[in-house]
Amino acid sequence: MNWDPLILTFELALTTTLVLLVVGIPLAYWLSKTRARIKPILETLVSMPLVLPPTVLGFYFLLAFSPNNAFGAWIDEWLGIPLVFSFAGLVLASVIYSLPFMVQPIQAGLSSLPPSLSEAAATMGKSASTQLFRILLPNIRKSLLTGIVLSFAHTVGEFGVVLMIGGNIPGKTRVASIAIYDEVEALNYAAANTYSLILFVLTFVLLLTVYLVNGGYLKRFWR
Amino acid sequence: MIEVRIHKELRSKGGDFSLDLELEIPEGQLITLYGPSGSGKTSLLRSLAGLLTPDRGRIARKEQVWFDSQKRTNLSPQKRNVGFVFQENALFPNMTVLGNLKFAQQKGSSHDLSEELIRDLDLQDLRDRYPDSLSGGQKQRVSLARALAQRPDILLLDEPLAALDAEMRLKLQEYILSSHRKFGLTTLMVSHDLAEIIKLSDLTVVMEKGRIRKTGTPREIFMERRLSGKFQFTGTLLELERERVITVASVLIGNHIIKVAAHPSEMEGLLPGDQVVVASKAFNPVIYKVDEQQ
């Protein structure tokens, strides 16, 4: 039993989720507040990965970051790490791919709060970042949890994007979903089953946690 | 003195209208804003707090310019030091009552005002409770305390008592008045309740359709007819019953319903819901001879 694909999957999902928290919170905050004309366009772009076949996303990534073109070569040189067939490339692609799963719940949560909360804080002399971290985010904990868990689980479950941009390099880009496909191709059903079962149970537990916490079923244990 | 001269096109549910205000607000007084809904009272408060940006005009307090469309000055709400009590209270649900008050205090303020306010506004029993567990009246009391905790120069109250029952209103009126005096504030309050306005305010501004219709002491404004009455009360007209020769008006004064009869011509133009003054000019004295035999 080779654990590498599973470990790699969780490394990827964890890194992606952390990056998404840093990127997604400001983006969702801005989207929830702005009246800029480009807002619908940005919202569309954020939501595109929901409906676009992952292979399309992966294909354009592959084209964009290939060292064979000017942009890809420049990125390669500037960053010093290649973005195709590498872990860094996987993280970047996964961040884009799971973006709506982080941004949408947080944006919806922030929009559901009455504007008077941040207005009250503003009249008290509190800056926008103080408002965000001390007032707004603590009051949308459920949305935050949803965003974090969905992004994590969605990254665990991705296949097409990874295959296109990461390929199938053991220990580097060979995540569990690809390993399963590989084992099935090799008629290695037992190994495929182990990976599959672990992913099945894990995603079930993750999502169950969200529903238990957000549904208030666990409240009596900590209050 | 706060000088306000602003213009703003507003879109409201009742249709678009423009706000055109010119007003001088004397410092240290309690001023009430009165007028039908959609007359721009809340917009005036929000413009003062910096939460609403007027299209044109100027707002200045003493030497400090808060807003000037020509010079493109617009001081952020953070820098105006204005306390705002929202109609829907806007307490932070993730903080206790004490937490809300502490958050509002300015950093580095030498003296902890929270405890003092908790005592002043009788919040001792609520200090560790979360806003969700409070009643409407308690929430507004905490909201008032929180606005005071930031030591504002100006206190703005947007119909803070609208959703409260009569008893709670009276109590909160006391708190508002005593805090206003204690902290030497300039207070602007939106109110629809005539009794409240007459009881609390030094000055009343009557607004209508985005304009200021009248400014004066509440007595000048609401008892303008200057009846040489022995007694007079303000109340709300409940209904008009037309009898054959007279009309009987039922008026709610305080908690009492009083029937007033008059000639139909005197009742013209009155509609149920109107605020009215019931007054009597003089009692006719009645004289009896006292019978010695009795």
The CATH number of residue B276's host domain is: 2.40.50.100
Name the H helices within chain B: 41-49, 97-104, 113-120, 136-149, 166-182, 194-200, 218-222
Q: What percent of chain B has pLDDT over 70?
A: 90
Q: Is it the case that residue B229 has pLDDT exceeding 70?
A: no
Domain boundary among B200, B222, B244: B222
Q: A198 CA to chain B: closest CA distance, Å? A: 37
Q: B46 and B8 in contact (C-beta within 8 Å)?
A: no
The answer to whether the CB atoms of B94 and A138 lie below 8 A apart is yes
For residue B245, give its domain range.
231-280
Q: What is the pLDDT of residue A216?
A: 82
The answer to whether residue B211 is domain-embedded is yes
The larger pLDDT score, comparing residue A136 to residue A216, is at A136
Q: B243 and B216 in contact (C-beta within 8 Å)?
A: no
Q: Do B173 and B66 have their domain in common? A: yes
The answer to whether residue B75 is domain-embedded is yes
Q: Of how many residues is chain A composed?
A: 223
Per residue in A37-57, pLDDT tens?
999 999 999 999 999 998 998
CATH code, domain with B130 = 3.40.50.300
Question: What are the chain A neighbours of B82 within 8 Å (beta carbons)?
Answer: 123
According to DSSP, residue B267 is labeled: G
In this structure, of A138-152, A194-208, B230-244, the range with the lowest mean pLDDT score is B230-244
DSSP A62-89: HHHH-TTSHHHHHHHHHHSS-SSSSHHH
What rounded mean pLDDT belongs to chain B? 86
Domain boundary among B189, B222, B255: B222
Q: What are the strands of the beta sheet with B231-242, ordered from one edge?
A: B256-262, B247-253, B231-242, B275-280
In this structure, of A143-152, A194-203, B30-39, B104-113, the range with the lowest mean pLDDT score is B104-113
Q: Does A125 touch chain B (CB under 8 A)?
A: yes
Per residue in A159-197, pLDDT tens?
888 888 888 888 788 889 999 998 999 999 999 999 999
- For chain B, the domain total comes to 2
Residue in the structure block whose two tokens are 């890194």: A15
Q: Does A116 touch chain B (CB under 8 A)?
A: yes
Question: What are the chain B neighbours of A114 within 8 Å (beta carbons)?
Answer: 88, 90
Considering the entire predicted model, what is its pTM? 0.81
Which pair of tokens denotes residue A73?
A: 């070569």
Q: Which domains does chain A have, with CATH numbers?
A: 4-221 (1.10.3720.10)
Q: What percent of chain A has pLDDT over 70?
A: 98
Average pLDDT of B52-75? Answer: 92
Q: Do B102 and B238 have their domain in common? A: no
CA dihedral B259, B264, B270, B271 (to 10 degrees): 70
Q: Is it the case that residue B4 has pLDDT exceeding 90?
A: yes
Q: Which residue of A has its CA nearest to B148?
A: A124
The larger pLDDT score, comparing residue B13 to residue A192, is at A192
Per residue in B122-155, pLDDT tens?
899 999 999 999 998 899 999 999 999 999 999 9
Q: Does A139 touch chain B (CB under 8 A)?
A: yes
